[in-house]
């Protein structure tokens, strides 16, 4: 059971609908993942979300990562339930640290009301011309300085609300022209560009980031046989851990995405990610793929002593982070209508303040 428990600790998984099926209950009991991630398909009402999270907590324990993608703008799973949050680009364009912190705090408070504790935000990719059609308003700005200026106070706002954040997508998708959901981007940037520009937000903020998510992009100028960074020892062990000195949790982007599965099986991807130094792999949709990855990691650990040590080290690191970052008590009470209305009103005020700054900026030109 030791290896089985360790392997489960390396997984964050998705669920199919608004309540657990009997099949999901069964495989959650088997895998015992470190976390679950919710999408729009899992969200109907505040009471329903709370009940769903309570169900998962009863199976995998209260001290697990309850995650969602809540960036604001285009990627905002709670926009229909609570209120549409402004995008990172919109907030960052004001150059106001106060508004960026409010943005993070409001996103954090709506998550906390629903029983969630982790958002995979902020995006730290640069808003470069190459990726404009892919990233759109998800990226805060075209320079590392503008990204840091937004992300640093945004992370403080999340912490104010007791929510964990995640910088993504290391080492940077700003130079990519393709969407890694469908296929693997090959980013034609050299080491100095990546280190001094794309990776600068991670270098400056790595102590503030509970998670860093690694991309499914390749960087052919840096590796002779480039594959996705998410399964690369060079990017994860050598650069992110050793060169950059990151000590938090390293998370793969969803391993079901075409950017990684276009070149290898889910079994190969899961094993390669953990062997490269990843702590947690994310599999968000298909239970069959989750179980295949779980069994592949288990089998590799049973047959390879060196891989088993990788699993044990990663699992120990995850457990230590959970003890440090997550409260031991269970979920709070479900959000009330009044609480949700208060959040909606504050989001409206944030949008109003952003508009005032935009108007003043235009007037001053």
The pLDDT tens digits of the residues spanning 132-172 come to 999 999 999 999 999 999 999 999 999 999 999 999 999 99
Sign of the CA dihedral 86, 88, 94, 95? positive
Q: How confident is the model at residue 62 (pLDDT cuts 50, 70, 90)?
A: confident
The answer, yes or no, to whether the previous bond of 171 is cis (omega within 30 of 0) is yes
Q: Please tell me the predicted confidence (pLDDT) of residue 31.
A: 96
* Residue of higher predicted confidence among 61 and 66: 66
Find how far residue 10's CA is from the centre of its chain.
14
Q: How far apart are CA 147 and CA 154, in angstroms?
A: 10
Active site residue 253: yes
Q: Please tell me the predicted confidence (pLDDT) of residue 363.
A: 66
Find how far residue 34's CA is from the centre of its chain.
14
Give the residue carrying structure tokens 């699993």: 311
Q: Please tell me the predicted confidence (pLDDT) of residue 293.
A: 97
Sign of the CA dihedral 107, 110, 111, 112? positive
Q: Please tell me the predicted confidence (pLDDT) of residue 146.
A: 97
Helix axes 22-31, 46-60, angle to 10 degrees: 40
CATH number at 52 reads 3.20.20.300
Q: How confident is the model at residue 264 (pLDDT cuts 50, 70, 90)?
A: very high
Of residues 253, 254, 279, 317, which has the active-site annotation? 253
Q: Rg for the chain (alpha carbons), in Å?
A: 20
Q: What are phi and psi of 356, to 5 degrees?
A: -65, -45
**Residue 362 pLDDT > 80:** no
Q: Please tell me the predicted confidence (pLDDT) of residue 343.
A: 95
- What is the arithmetic mean of pLDDT over 263-273? 96
Three-state secondary structure call for residue 178: coil
Q: Please tell me the predicted confidence (pLDDT) of residue 364.
A: 67
- What is the arithmetic mean of pLDDT over 12-21? 97
| 250: containing domain | 2-364
Residues 253, 169 contacting (CB under 8 angstroms): yes
Sign of the CA dihedral 24, 324, 269, 206? positive
Q: Please tell me the predicted confidence (pLDDT) of residue 84.
A: 94
- What is the arithmetic mean of pLDDT over 2-31? 96
Q: How many residues does the chain have?
A: 365
Number of domain units in the chain? 1
Q: Please tell me the predicted confidence (pLDDT) of residue 224.
A: 79
Q: What are phi and psi of 144, to 5 degrees?
A: -60, -40
Q: Please tell me the predicted confidence (pLDDT) of residue 365.
A: 61
Of residues 80, 181, 188, 341, which has the active-site annotation? 181
Return mean pLDDT, the chain: 95
Find how far residue 210's CA is from the centre of its chain.
10
Q: Which stretch, 179-188, 206-215, 321-330, 354-363, has highest mean pLDDT?
A: 206-215
Q: Please tell me the predicted confidence (pLDDT) of residue 19.
A: 96
Q: How confident is the model at residue 183 (pLDDT cuts 50, 70, 90)?
A: very high
């Amino acid at each position: 059971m030791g290896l089985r428990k360790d392997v489960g600790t390396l997984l964050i998984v998705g669920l199919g609908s608004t309540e657990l099926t009997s099949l999901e209950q069964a495989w959650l009991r088997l895998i015992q993942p470190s976390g679950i991630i919710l999408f729009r398909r899992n969200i109907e009402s505040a009471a329903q979300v709370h009940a769903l999270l309570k169900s998962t907590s009863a199976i995998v324990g209260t001290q697990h990562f309850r995650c969602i993608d809540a960036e604001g703008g285009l990627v905002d799973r709670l926009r229909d339930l609570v209120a549409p949050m402004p995008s990172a680009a919109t907030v960052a364009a004001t150059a106001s640290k106060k508004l960026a912190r409010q943005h993070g705090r409001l996103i954090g408070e709506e998550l906390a009301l629903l029983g969630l504790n982790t958002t995979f935000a902020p995006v730290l990719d640069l808003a470069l011309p190459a990726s404009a059609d892919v990233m759109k308003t998800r990226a805060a700005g075209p320079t590392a300085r503008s990204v840091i200026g937004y992300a640093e106070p945004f992370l403080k706002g999340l912490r104010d609300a007791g929510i964990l954040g995640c910088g993504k997508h290391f080492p940077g998708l700003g130079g990519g022209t393709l969407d890694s959901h469908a296929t693997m981007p090959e980013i034609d940037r050299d080491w100095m560009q990546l280190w001094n520009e794309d990776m600068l937000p991670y270098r400056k903020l790595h102590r503030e980031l509970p998670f860093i998510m690694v991309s499914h992009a390749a960087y052919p100028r840096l590796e002779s046989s480039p594959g996705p960074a998410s399964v690369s020892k060079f990017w994860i062990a050598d650069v992110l851990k050793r060169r950059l000195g990151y000590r938090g949790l390293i998370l793969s982007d969803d391993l079901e995405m075409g950017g990684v599965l276009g070149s290898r099986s889910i079994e190969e991807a899961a094993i390669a990610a953990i062997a490269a130094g990843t702590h947690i792999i994310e599999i968000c949709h298909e239970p069959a793929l989750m179980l295949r990855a779980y069994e592949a990691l288990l089998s590799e650990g049973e047959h390879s002593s060196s891989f088993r040590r990788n699993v044990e080290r990663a699992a120990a690191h995850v457990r230590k982070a959970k003890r440090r970052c997550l409260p031991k008590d269970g979920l709070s009470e479900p959000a009330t209508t009044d609480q949700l209305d208060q959040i909606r009103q504050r989001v409206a005020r944030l949008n109003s303040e952003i508009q005032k700054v935009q108007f003043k900026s235009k007037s001053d030109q």
